[in-house]
Amino acid sequence: MNTGELVELAQQLRVDSVRASAAAGSGHPTSSMSAADLMAVLLANHFRYDFDRPEHPGNDRFVLSKGHASPLLYAAYKAAGAIDDEELLTFRKIGSRLEGHPTPRRLPWVETATGSLGQGLPVGVGIALSGKRLDRTGYRVWVLTGDSELAEGSVWEAAEHAGHEHLDNLTAIVDVNRLGQRGATRHGHDLDAYARRFQAFGWHTVEVDGHDVDAIERAYGEAESTKGQPTVIIARTLKGKGVADIEDREGLHGKPLKNADDAIEELGGVRDLRVQVHEPQAARMLHAVRTGHLELPRWDKGSEEEGVATRDAYGQALAALGTGRGDVVALDGEVGDSTRTEFFAKEHPDRYFECYIAEQQMVAAAVGLAARGWVPYATTFAAFLTRAHDFVRMASISGAGINLVGSHAGVAIGQDGPSQMGLEDLAMMRAVYGSTVLYPCDANQTAHLVAAMADLDGVRYLRTNRGESPVIYGPEEEFPIGGSKVLRSSARDRMTVVAAGVTVHEALKAADALDREGIQVRVIDLYSVKPVDRDTLRQAAEDTGCLMTVEDHHEEGGLGDAVLDAFCDGRPVPRLVRLAVRTMPGSASPDEQLHAAGIDAESIATAGRLLVEQSVTP
């Protein structure tokens, strides 16, 4: 399109943003209007995409990081012929695909859910990594961000990662409209303040008038020709551009225009321009290629005198999975020697991504890789995943299929102390919509669950332990998701101990001690914490009358609450005792930590005696 046509297209995008928000009675038209010229030039002259084939491997990828500006995105879809005017005016209405903030669950052209600011660029980095190192199909990733969200630390994790990886297939477009939600941003229209920051992370920077379509055209061309560096286009814009009464005015964020009809008339009225978006480059389809037969590592039952750490089993299983499946990729937060992701890195360096100590970026990159059809496993200490929780939450909203693995869980890690102990992770991951939460107790169980995770939907979480554990299952044992293992039972059981991970072995030792005293105890390994095995738990409650949960985790939201979920259908809740970490740990040996927390074999046996004694009717 030429200059005049681009100006007209930008005005149409503004008008349609105002119309959609007015029809909804809510939305962010002023935030959409500021970026309309940036979007018009991109859509008409630079974006390569087949809207009829969103899965085309040669398609460019666009991420609207400032997801509240969704009216602009939907107006662009209309201009491209992907939606019609009737659908545009269903914005924010029940049943509409055009949600207040875009999600790929509703629209096939959306790469990732946005709306929690500061996430679009990190995910865009993940998509660009896929294009640069894995897909190699020549597509470009465009990310439109707002200036307010540049206050988020996650943006600078992404900026550093992109600079380090020389992602010259990535272009960030910053809509510097000066105004946030409650007033002016930190740097206002000081474009150089943003440029200096990006330059420090190795980006090529272009400062531009965001309402000069010819300058924008030149800037995009410069970005496409820049090699060896990602490019950021820092555009000075005005919020509410084009309507005198609202242009560059505070207090109008997130509000439809009061005089929408007048604003539309001032913008030149309703238009129906159509854009012929450039075709993507020819590229091979990306398939999930299986490169060999999957042979998981095997350990003989009871053969390891000192046991095998589940983190070691995880690392070996992940490396084997990478050999068996060409679509598996691994990411780590600079702790690969501890998490054992280094085993995968040595076997498959081309599919390994070191994210350094940037957990938000690690999870975001996993989401971006998943959007391109890969099966990512992202690993760090369980405790450190907490700082990336918002990215996990947004991954769920996206419907992203990612595998997260948290090592060094619970007080059992020992002397490192509470800052390193994952004691909230089960609760955090269980609360995520559609998640799967797994906690294996031995090496063979870990290996099988690592492989099973790859074929699940949504967010999957596996918890591993630092210390060695006895091998109690044979390599041929099966561990269905949503299942459990009854390790000990009899017709004379007087209570049931439900455990997972490290506490399974403590529960077995306690059961042995109680058995010598004539107290039979059923032991359930609840390795699938979500979904939980309701049938087995209900049967145990019916048979034994008493349940005791034992977990290396805080009491709130973990194993005990998962067990309670089995009794939320109106049936009587059995007598339940919950052993969990209720105090703030210090530094001590693993055995001392378990005892201090009251979750070791001795504590379980003591609680069991008391529970059985109190359950006896005189």
Q: What is the mean pLDDT of residues 299-303?
A: 86
Instruction: Please report which confidence band the pLDDT of residue 410 belongs to, taking 50, 70 and 90 as the band edges.
Output: very high
| pLDDT tens digits, one per residue of 554-586 | 999 999 999 999 998 887 888 999 999 999 999
Q: How many angstroms separate the CA atoms of 571 and 429, rounded?
A: 27
| pLDDT tens digits, one per residue of 97-127 | 999 999 999 999 999 999 999 999 999 999 9
Q: How many angstroms separate the CA atoms of 114 and 129, rounded?
A: 19
Instruction: Please report which confidence band the pLDDT of residue 282 belongs to, taking 50, 70 and 90 as the band edges.
Output: confident
Residue 90 has pLDDT above 80, yes or no: yes
Task: State residue 617's pLDDT score.
Answer: 44
Task: State residue 303's pLDDT score.
Answer: 67
Q: What is the mean pLDDT of residues 218-230?
A: 98
Select from 132, 152, 3 the least CA-distant residue to 61.
132
Model pTM score: 0.96
Catalytic residue among 99, 165, 359, 551: 359
Instruction: Please report which confidence band the pLDDT of residue 288 belongs to, taking 50, 70 and 90 as the band edges.
Output: very low
Task: State residue 355's pLDDT score.
Answer: 98
279 is catalytic: no
Q: How many angstroms separate the CA atoms of 461 and 449, rounded?
A: 10
Q: What is the mean pLDDT of residues 253-269?
A: 96
Task: State residue 535's pLDDT score.
Answer: 96
Residue 289 has pLDDT above 60, yes or no: no
Q: What is the mean pLDDT of residues 363-387?
A: 98
Q: How many CB atoms lie within 10 A of CB 373?
A: 17
Instruction: Please report which confidence band the pLDDT of residue 284 belongs to, taking 50, 70 and 90 as the band edges.
Output: low
| pLDDT tens digits, one per residue of 471-497 | 999 999 999 999 999 999 999 999 999
Task: State residue 304's pLDDT score.
Answer: 59
Helix axes 359-371, 153-164, angle to 10 degrees: 70
Q: How many angstroms separate the CA atoms of 38 and 28, rounded?
A: 17
Task: State residue 291's pLDDT score.
Answer: 63
Q: Per DSSP, what are the bridge partners of residue 380?
A: 406
Select from 279, 278, 284, 224 the least CA-distant residue to 57.
284
Instruction: Please report which confidence band the pLDDT of residue 290 belongs to, taking 50, 70 and 90 as the band edges.
Output: low
Q: What is the mean pLDDT of residues 53-76?
A: 97
| pLDDT tens digits, one per residue of 414-432 | 999 999 999 999 999 999 9
Average pLDDT, the chain: 96
| pLDDT tens digits, one per residue of 514-569 | 999 999 999 999 999 999 999 999 999 999 999 999 999 999 999 999 999 999 88
Q: What is the mean pLDDT of residues 293-320?
A: 91
